[in-house]
Structure 1
């Protein structure tokens, strides 16, 4: 009985919410966990190493297969110079494999850093993972090279300082709604 109770609580803590509306994301003032992810070149990179020199716009997107994500990534690429001039860098994270990150970068004309979280370690730790609807499971399986068959991130933007503290966040369970570049730049100006 004790073993069953312990197992129940362990599973409850790692369970991914059923829908995008049920997520429990990290909040402003909390820290982004220091997790190792993969670059488009398949090199391991520690988030704290990326954050330590600059404040960061941390973007979580569903994958290069998502047209709404591609529009958002392209809009950020167009606004990148303004964002850099304000002293920030852009890092975008998805469950896609490193190989698929390269395709997305070329297609969306992205020069900023794209990182792979195919296992979902950061996406889950940030509290933005939810159970993928059935009609997405084969797509995410292909784009993650079989490492992800069950979850999607809620599209999110976190502004993080060099100490990994969350200064601002925009999280929309409706994947069609993203923060505009204009609003994001306005927020960055006010955070200075």
Structure 2
């Protein structure tokens, strides 16, 4: 697994978790600022886990809203949808977002999960000012994740990954549903 000393400078240099690998055991913070063990969540039912850059990111907000539109279909296929960001709990969703998501959001405040699954890279200095303008009260994480979507079984094993260093490109709801249908067979 990736350690802090090995955090790449850019998104293209990450070394992400692979299909068949086990997710790490980490604690996250829920919207009530309470610690939750990720494996406890995953054991509940198969999971579509989204790792996003933060509530400050308009591409992330758009993607989270698009996933919200297919969440019921995801649930009908037997999966739960959860999302994780390195943002502080208060910054998980942008206040500019009109639509709130119905699935669970979690904070990875020390970026332990995103580092351990190999999708973290150093936050570009050129982006720090923008993040600070969107989250004036919050801290700016030293690392950020490449937007990631994992499908995980109840044993914590990765069954599918969609990881793209181009933060503007995200998996569509329709493609995700096709993947989930295929995994169910």
Q: TM-score by structure 2 length?
A: 0.90
Counterpart CA distance in 2 for 1:82 and 1:47 is 23
Aligned to 1:146: 139
2: CA distance, partners of 1:57 / 1:145: 27
Q: Partner residue of 1:131? A: 122
**What is the CA–CA distance in structure 1 between the aligned matches of 2:98 and 2:112, rounded to whole Å?**
26
Residues 73-92 of structure 1 mapped to structure 2, 5 A cutoff: 73-92=64-83
Match of 1:21 among 12, 27, 52: 12
Give 2:176's match in structure 1, choosing from 156, 168, 184: 184
Q: Deviations over 1:134-164 (max 9, x none)?
A: 122245464783262x211000100000011
Instruction: Mark the CA change 1:84 to 1:143 in structure 2 (over 3 Å): closer, same or farther.
Output: farther
Considering only aligned residues, what root-mean-square deviation do their CA atoms show, in Å? 2.1
Give the number of the structure whose alpha-carbon radius of gyration is greater.
1
Q: Structure 1 CA distance, aligned partners of 2:178 and 2:104?
A: 22
Q: Output the TM-score relative to the length of structure 1.
A: 0.87
For residues 35 and 182 of structure 2, the distance between their equivalents in structure 1, rounded to whole angstroms, comes to 33
State the distance in 2 between where 1:12 and 1:72 align: 28
Structure richer in helix, relative to its length: 1
Gaps of 5+ in 1: 1-10
1:61 and 1:94 in contact (8 A); partners too: yes
Aligned residues: 181
Alpha-carbon distance in 2 for matches of 1:25, 1:135? 24
Supply the distance in 2 between the matched residues of 1:94 and 1:26 (Cα, whole angstroms). 17
| Structure 1 residue ranges, 4+ long, deviating more than 6 angstroms after superposition | none
User: 3-state DSSP class of the match of 1:52?
Assistant: helix
Name structure 2 gaps, 5 residues minimum.
Answer: none
CA distance in 2, matches of 1:95, 1:13: 14
Cα deviation digits, residues 19-64 of structure 1 (max 9, x gap) = 1000000100001101000011101000111011200001011011
